[in-house]
Amino acid sequence: MSRFDRRDAGSPSRGMLSPAPDWAGMVEVAGQRVAVDVRGPNPSLLLVNGIGGGRPMWGPLRRALPADVGTISYDAPGCGDSEPARGPLSVCDHARIAAGVVRAVGARQVDVLGFSFGGMVAQQLAREELDLVRRLVLVATGCGVGSVPGTPLAYAILASPQLMRSPAYLHHVSPYVFGGRHGRRSSDLRRLGFQHRVDSSSYLGQLHAGMSWTSLPWLRELSQPTLVMSGDNDPLVPSANARLMAGLMPDAQVHLVRGGGHLLVVDSVEQVAPVIDGFLRFAGDDAVRTDVPA
């Protein structure tokens, strides 16, 4: 793995990396040292993970997307190879880190796929960085405060960093917190890198950030074409949230994955990858709209 220390990457005038295929290293953005992967010579899709998530989770989706879809992914502070958060981080702070990562690798405009907590970060990023974010894909996510709640048991399980650290605990609780295929086959989650280093304070900080944030007052202001995806077997974020959000956004469509759980970007990748690719290539074309019938 190549490594590159990049300081003040949030400032485009200070110099940037040139996008290169299959690059991995460290960048410094907003005072945080963050681990980054770039796949493909022209990275145009930023992948923003959920609470405690690591970069390996994106492997199945990357392999399922066409080779010309270059991607940028990173470990949020305290997750995977990134250093722990240096103090509490709000959703706005996480959005600034995401923007800094994009600029650090030399990309000028990207589509953004945000999963779960990463979907909140993606919404905030789209609001703050109109010139940076071209299109949005929001997966298994909600609008924060005001969302349709999941099950109390799923919330209780998510509140423990042990979920990402203990194989035995993950195996036991997966059906109740994730649902879908991987809720029934938790061994697949370990193979996908769900057992990695997670700093407890950073993990709990992400939870707190999500519980104290909302996009409801300004969702109508997000003008980017948006695809909202949800599984109908998601204990954490019920699919009603996808309809709620898409109904408020000016240019949004919904795609519901039958049998998909919270981890539909990995447990239903055969179904979601073609829809994501079609949306990113032809957003606004009625022929590829994937709205769920009323």
Q: What SS3 state is found at 216?
A: coil
Verify whether residue 11 is a known catalytic residue: no
Q: Are strands 70-74 and 43-48 parallel, antiparallel or unpaired?
A: parallel
CB 51 within 8 A of CB 206: yes
């650290």: which residue's tokens?
165
Catalytic residue among 116, 147, 215, 268: 116
Closest to 185 in 3D by CA, of 103, 90, 263, 251: 263
Q: CA 166, CA 29: separation in Å to the nearest integer? A: 30
DSSP character at residue 186: T
C-beta atoms surrounding 204 within 10 Å: 17
Strands (E) located in the chain? 23-29, 32-39, 43-48, 70-74, 110-115, 133-139, 226-231, 252-257
CB 137 within 8 A of CB 112: yes
Which region, left, alpha or beta, applies to residue 220 given φ > 0 means left and ψ of -120 to 50 means alpha? alpha
Count of residues making up the chain: 294
C-beta atoms surrounding 139 within 10 Å: 30
Who's near 182: CB < 8 A, 6+ residues apart?
174, 188, 189, 261, 263, 266, 267
Q: CA 161, CA 144: separation in Å to the nearest integer? A: 20
Known catalytic residues? 116
